[in-house]
Chain A
Amino acid sequence: MQIYLPIAELPISVLMVLGLSGAVGFISGLFGVGGGFLLTPLLIFLDIPPAVAVATVAAQVAGSSMTGVLTYLRRRALDLKLGGVLVSGGIVGTVLGVLFFNAMRRLGQLELVITLSYVTLFSIIGGLMLYDALRAMLRVRAGKPARRRRRGGMHPWWMGLPFRQRFPRSGLYCSVIPIALLAVVIGFIGAVLGVGGGFILVPGLIYFFRIPPAVVVGTSLFQILVTMTGATLLHAVTNQSVDIVLAILLLLGGVIGAQFGGRAARNLNVESFRLLLALLILSVGLRFAIELFLAPSEPFSVVVPESAR
């Protein structure tokens, strides 16, 4: 069954989009990430114009993170105070990112910037996570605890910077500066790559601030919900690239997939969970690296500049 998308201006198979968004929703429910970093490239691969893909995925990510936020709110595993700091940092980062995005577009090298950032970002984050997960697994196999235990009173230096705040729900007493900085970076990356940034925020909060994973996922989803709601509105108003029909299809598949993903997450042990997420992120990075390093079979490409649409 095919349906014509009014803004993307092409027909698409309903079942395929539902299946695709369901699979991505499953992954996003499983790992507590938005899933935009998988969905956007997939939609572009299906010939949907990149601007429409980025804008519409923002709406889908807003919807699926809403489900997560409500669930974590009910379980009291959401730190609204920490979320507030993340959101304000994220807004600053998003504005900077949009400015950078437009500057690169003027120079005609936007595509290169996006590909390069996908490769470096995904390889580094995926590689670090893989290394960490494998080391933890080896330690378990050797009969030691998975992670060296944290000794009391030991804190990384950045947590001791000025403007310290208590975040009771996260069990955190830490300077606001590094948290806001992390949020700025994520807002920036999100605006340039058209992703929510959950896949950076979740490991970032765990590794740099040692916040309990359960709270991290809920809080990260809250930050994603706010930024993606804003992004959807901005895209709709500034470039009319949100496709409401595609958004509904993606939402339907996404929210259902996310439910099953969330349930599967409870039956998965932590170490294999981290290993899987690391492999997933690495493979996306690899997919973009191939494009960058291998000689293309078709060196030419045709684009219709967005401004001309």
Chain B
Amino acid sequence: MRRLLHLAALLLLLPAGTAAGRAETLIAAMSSHQIQITSNYTGSQLTVFGQVERDGRSVSRGDPYDLVVTVRGPRRMLLVRQKERLGPIWINAIQRRFPENPVFLLVASSRPIAEMMSPETARRDRIGLVNAERTSQSWYDDSASTTLFRESLVRIMQGKGLYAYEERGVTFLSGALFSAPIDVPATAPTGSYTVDVVLYAGGVPLARQQTNFEVIKTGTEQRLASGAYDWPWLYGLVTVLLALFFGWGASVVFRRD
């Protein structure tokens, strides 16, 4: 069922693509495919850069090129809860699940998305923070409350610095050469990240390209974390002994009598 819906979405996209001639191709690359977390890690910055290539058949366009870069981090189940008043106290009354939702989301565009395309196109192509994770199911479930919960999710994650929208985050260095910095905060989770680059002109998608990078722990960080998972008894025992040793050490060092 889900695959069918994807197919339907693809078919919807197709006429727009053929009408534009599909003459442009997009080349995109990352400055690095790996971020290594060491003990002094405080976040990192990568750059996605690339070029819009035109072949001889390309018609000259009246509209400028627009680019949107969407970075999606590892997916986890997220719960969004809403507090409501119950008598004198406030409690979490309603909760909604967002399964398989990226914990990190960055959208960067060459100019504000609203100037680039219609809201319908943005929704269809999943462009923008709120649209990025519209699943095929939620296409039909656009009730006010779903939208409210999704918008709250985006707002809170923006507050945590895990979601961000840079409306001029993509820079054209020349007519065809572009680059976009990707800020990965230290709180961004480890795992694999996908980077989608989509080229637009006049509100019509012309080409798309996907690349990726990963965030991994290395050195001591990696050894400690895998130790905690692979040998939990040993790890726990070492922690406890360390704690008791510190306690004993303090009583020796500070002993006065």
- Residues in chain A within 8 A of chain B (CB atoms): 2-4, 6-7, 9-11, 47, 59-60, 62-67, 69-71, 74, 108-109, 111-112, 229, 232-237, 240, 242, 244-245, 247-248, 251-252, 255-256, 258-259, 291-296, 298-305, 308-309
Contact = CB atoms under 8 A, between A and B. Distances in A.
Contacts of A69: 247
Nearest to A119: B89
Given A7-B224, A67-B247, A248 B90 contact: no
A233 B236 CA distance: 5
B51 to A, nearest CB: 35
A255 B247 CA distance: 6
A194 to B, nearest CB: 16
Interface in B142-164: 149, 152-153, 155-157, 160
A251 B89 CA distance: 37
B250 interface: yes
B38 A4 contact: yes
Instruction: Give the secondary structure class of A's interface.
Output: helix
Contacts of B80: 300-302
Contacts of A70: 247-248, 251
Interface of B: 37-43, 76-85, 88-92, 95, 103, 149, 152-153, 155-157, 160, 186-187, 189-190, 217, 220-222, 224-225, 228-229, 232-233, 235-240, 242-244, 246-251, 254, 257
A244 B187 contact: no
26 contacts: A3-B40, A4-B186, A9-B187, A47-B160, A59-B240, A59-B243, A74-B257, A108-B92, A109-B91, A229-B240, A232-B236, A233-B236, A234-B236, A236-B228, A240-B232, A244-B228, A244-B239, A245-B224, A295-B90, A299-B83, A299-B90, A300-B156, A302-B81, A302-B152, A302-B157, A304-B76
Contact of B243 (A9, A251, A300): A251
Nearest to A110: B92
Q: Indicate the member of A6, A233, A234, A259 with the most B CB atoms within 10 Å.
A: A6
A293 B40 contact: no
Given A4-B186, A295-B90, A66 B248 contact: yes
Contacts, number: 179
Contacts of B160: 47
Nearest to A70: B251
Contact of A6 (B76, B95, B225): B225
Contact of A305 (B37, B41, B77, B89): B77
Contacts of B37: 4
Given A6-B224, A108-B95, A111-B92, A303 B76 contact: no
Contacts of A309: 76
B10 to A, nearest CB: 30
Contacts of B236: 232-237, 242
Contacts of B221: 4, 6
A248 B40 CA distance: 16
A10 B244 contact: no
A112 B92 contact: yes
A107 to B, nearest CB: 11
Given A252-B246, A299-B84, 7 more contacts: A64-B247, A232-B240, A233-B237, A247-B242, A296-B90, A300-B80, A301-B83
Nearest to A258: B250
4 cross-chain pairs, A with B, having the tightest CB-CB distances, nearest first: A66-B247, A236-B236, A63-B243, A255-B250
Nearest to A240: B228
A4 B240 contact: no
A65 B250 CA distance: 11
A299 B82 contact: yes
